[in-house]
Amino acid sequence: MKARYTLPAVLLLSSVLFAACGNKEEAQPAANNTQTSPTTAAATETNAAAPAASAADFKDATEQYRTYAISEIDAFVTETEKFTEAVKAGKMDEAKKLYAPARMHYERIEPIAEALGNLDPDIDARQGDVDDKDWRGFHKIEQGLWEKKTTDGMSEYADRLLQDAKLLRAKVETVDIDAGLLVTGAVELLNEVSSSKVTGEEERYSHTDLYDFVANVEGAQKIYEILKPNLTAKDPALEKQIGEKFEALNKELAPFATKDGGYVTYDKLSKEDVRTLSQNLDALAEPLSQMGTILGV
Partner 1 sequence: MSKKKNDEQQLNPTTDAGQESASLFRKPVSRRDMLRLAGASGVGLLLGGSGAFGIMAATGATKQPASDKPGSPDNVTTGIPDANRYDFYGQHQSGITTPSQNFMCFASFDLTVSDAAGLKSLLQAWTRASASLMAGELLDGQNENLNLPPADTGEAAGLTPSRITITFGAGPSLFDHRFGLAGKKPAGFGDLPPFNGDNLMPEWCGGDLGVQICADDMQVAFHGMRNLIRIARGSAVLRWSQEGFQRSTESDPNKATPRNLMGFKDGTANPSVQDAAMMNEVVWVQPEDGAGWMTGGSYMAVRRIRMRIEVWDRSSLSDQENTFGRYRVSGAPLGSQHEFDRGDMEAKDASGKPVIPMNSHMRVARGDGKMQILRRPYSYSSGMDNTTGQLDAGLFFISYQRSLEKQFIPMQQRLAQIDALNEYIQHIGSATFACFPGVRQGGYIGDTLL
Binding residues for partner 1 (CB under 8 A): 1, 3-4, 6-8, 37, 180, 183, 241, 245, 279, 282-284, 286-287, 289-290, 292-293, 295-297
| Nearer CB in complex with partner 1: 87/242 | 242
198: exposed, middle or buried (Cβ count in 10 Å: 0-12, 13-18, 19+): buried
What residues contact 271, with CB distance under 8 A and at least 6 apart? Answer: none
Closest distance between partner 1 and the C-beta of residue 3, in Å?
A: 5
CB of 271 to partner 1, least distance (A): 10
Cα Rg for the chain, rounded, in angstroms? 20
Question: What minimum distance in Å lies between the beta carbon of 187 and partner 1?
Answer: 9
For residue 12, the minimal CB distance to partner 1 (Å) is 12
- Measured from the CB atom, the residue of 185 and 296 that comes closer to partner 1 is 296
Q: Residue 146 and residue 149: Cα distance in Å, rounded? A: 5
- Compare residues 6 and 265 and give the one whose CB is closer to partner 1: 6
Around Cβ 52, how many Cβ atoms within 10 Å? Answer: 12
Torsion angles phi and psi, residue 112, rounded to 5: -65, -45
Pick 145 or 295: Cβ nearer partner 1: 295
Is the separation of the CB atoms in 139 and 124 below 8 Å? yes
Q: How far is the CB of 56 from partner 1 (least distance, A)?
A: 17
Choose between 6 and 216: whose C-beta lies nearer to partner 1: 6
266 close to 210: Cβ distance less than 8 angstroms: yes
Residue 131 beta carbon to partner 1: minimum distance, rounded to whole angstroms? 32
- Nearer to partner 1 by Cβ, of 149 and 240: the residue is 240
In angstroms, what is the minimal distance from the CB of 297 to partner 1? 6
Quick one: 4 or 268, whose CB is closer to partner 1?
4
Residue 6 or 143: the one with the smaller Cβ distance to partner 1 is 6
Answer yes or no: are the C-beta atoms of 211 and 108 closer than 8 Å: no
The overall longest dimension of the chain from CA atoms, in Å, is 63
Task: Determine the Cα–Cα distance for residues 95 and 82; give it in Å rounded to an integer.
Answer: 8
Please answer whether residues 113 and 168 qualify as being in contact, where contact means their C-beta atoms are separated by less than 8 angstroms: yes
- Cα 108 from chain centroid? 5
DSSP, res 289: T
Exposed e or buried b for every residue in 229-252, given b needs 16+ CB within 10 A?
ebbeebbeebbebbbebbeebeee
CB of residue 44 to partner 1, shortest distance in Å: 14
Partnered with residue 127 across adjacent β-strands are: 130
